Structure 1
Amino acid sequence: MTFSTHRRGWLQAALAGAGALALGACDRITGNPKGIGFLAGAEGLTRRAQRLVVDRKALAHEFHPSDISSDFRPNGSIDPSDTDYVALRDKGFADYRLVVDGLVDRPLSLSLADLRAAPSRTQITRHDCVEGWSSIAKWTGARLGPLLDQAGVKKTARYVVFHCGDTLEQTLDGSGQYYESIDLIDAYHPQTILAYAMNDRTLPVAHGAPLRLRVERQLGYKQAKYIMRIEAVADYAQLGRGKGGFWEDRGYEWYAGI
């Protein structure tokens, strides 16, 4: 065995161990400051190890149509009651516009027709939930990378933030609106899409209509639903509680790579 092969095997073991340990512990320790510090340390190891051993463009496994789950249960919000979202839903999303702004040269406002005309991808992939269940579905959507190129992402941008149309909980600090973020490496991954169809049908409301993120090498809570706006940012410290996402603000890992 060569040194490089040995090192790769060690890193893969470290990656799997750190990820499993952090995920298994998250429900028990996220209310504990020491526990949150542990998760942050494990997340850093997981992210660095995965970046070292996995090709940035390596594809998540794709499945055969016969593998599609007969029952793909929705989670999180399944029927948002936010006023703006309800108004869009009640008109069949005819007035929906996806805004792409922030650190870009050419801000965009895209209709669903625009998104369906954009470079797209169809993929059958497995959704792995932090709660311990998995389901397989077929997703079709606009590739995020070409849309970001169309907007002209500035060199100062490091992340893209997905602002969503659902308030998952009412909070005094105003952080209950769902949002999520990924870095530009994952944003430009070939399988990162803004899905408008599921299993060859229009994306249902329970699964995030009119548009949801599919970033296939990460856990389910990163797959933001009800996307209204995509913002390119240098950092996410000023958003929500500063951790990069709704669940991350409540103790989950920001980098949820699998």
Structure 2
Amino acid sequence: MSRILTRRGLLTTGALGGSVLLSGCDALTRSPGITNVVRSAEEATYRWQRLIGRDALATEYTRADLSPVFKANGSVDPDDEAYRAHARAGFANWRLKIDGLVERPADISLADLRRLPARTQITRHDCVEGWSAIGEWAGPQLGTLLKTVGLKPNARYVVFHCADKYSGEISKGGMQSSGMYYESIDLVDAFHPQSILATRMNGAPLPVAYGAPIRLRVERQLGYKHAKYVQRIEVVESFANMELGKGGYWEDRGYEWYAGI
């Protein structure tokens, strides 16, 4: 696939300029021209990925390919007392809520998630800032959980509500919405074989810096879509009444909703 069709290609070829790479997740919010270019690439990538196949897999690697250093980007220790209390207790009483447009809302313990059949995959994580790393992730497929709760006919998107707070931090986008991190994907990506709720990384329980107790892995999209510290999954028909209506924390600040690579 031509690199001009991908968001990743725009970054690595310099089409957005070196300043974007240096300033990371803030620069796009300040340049309408750049944002329009990125959105055009987003639409092309979205159409292309749907054209080539709903189940096309991201490249998988071997343990010999694991990166010696995998950057812990974004939040590494959420400033939320409820979350920290769960972390101190080893997440023994932590629960994942699944609600919204589902037939059977669920409240699932970490122990129950770990007992579900897990998919293990070694994939490359591509960050919007321009770096990449290869890691091993394991956890239940998101589609398995969604089938368990049952989706209502008007369900279209899956929203991930997280424990990390970004509110007021200029380097993390300021105050456009509440500051609680959230992300979303459509049902095609939700049921993709490589979309998992990772409970393990590189053969060990997921560390706090990487999103413990669970994080989303949606391997055909850029890193900011891989929500960390997921505490609630909400199935919705639209984003209209959610924050600024863009479908994600960084999307509310100018990033594209579909970040396919």
2:29 aligned residue: 30
1:211 aligned residue: 214
SS of residue paired to 1:218: coil
SS of residue paired to 1:189: coil
Out of 179, 185, 190, the residue aligned to residue 187 of structure 1 is: 190
Residues 1:197 and 1:36: Cα distance change in structure 2 (over 3 Å): same
* CA–CA separation in structure 1 for the residues paired with 2:101 and 2:6: 36
The one-letter amino acid of 2:227's match is: A
* CA–CA separation in structure 2 for the residues paired with 1:200 and 1:19: 28
* CA–CA separation in structure 2 for the residues paired with 1:246 and 1:216: 19
The one-letter amino acid of 2:49's match is: Q
The one-letter amino acid of 1:204's match is: P
Displacement after TM superposition at 1:22 (Å): 6.9
Displacement after TM superposition at 1:15 (Å): 5.5
* CA–CA separation in structure 1 for the residues paired with 2:215 and 2:8: 25
What is the aligned length? 246
TM norm structure 1 = 0.89
The one-letter amino acid of 1:104's match is: V
2:251 aligned residue: 248
Any conservation in 2 of the 1:98–1:109 contact (CA below 8 Å)? yes
* CA–CA separation in structure 2 for the residues paired with 1:136 and 1:19: 16
The one-letter amino acid of 1:161's match is: V
Structure 1 residue runs of 4+, over 2 Å off?
Answer: 12-30, 32-42, 169-175
Larger RCO of the pair (alpha carbons < 8 Å, separation 6+): 2
1:237 aligned residue: 240
The one-letter amino acid of 1:217's match is: R
| CA offsets 1:8-40 (integer angstroms, 9 cap, x no match) | xxxx33753665337853935532344434433
2:70 aligned residue: 72
Displacement after TM superposition at 1:187 (Å): 0.4
Out of 101, 104, 118, the residue aligned to residue 103 of structure 1 is: 101
1:196 aligned residue: 199
* CA–CA separation in structure 2 for the residues paired with 1:187 and 1:131: 25
| CA offsets 1:129-154 (integer angstroms, 9 cap, x no match) | 11111111111101100100101011
Any conservation in 2 of the 1:57–1:190 contact (CA below 8 Å)? yes
The share of aligned pairs that are identical, in percent, is 56
Structure 1 gaps of 5+ residues are: 1-11
Structure 2 gaps of 5+ residues are: 21-26, 169-173
| CA offsets 1:77-115 (integer angstroms, 9 cap, x no match) | 001111221121121111110000000000010001110
1:3 aligned residue: none
Residue 178 of structure 1 pairs with residue 177 of structure 2: no
Alignment RMSD (CA, Å): 1.9
- Aligned pairs for 1:9-158 (under 5 A) are 12-13=1-2, 16=5, 20-21=9-10, 24-25=15-16, 27=20, 28-52=27-51, 54-158=52-156
TM norm structure 2 = 0.88
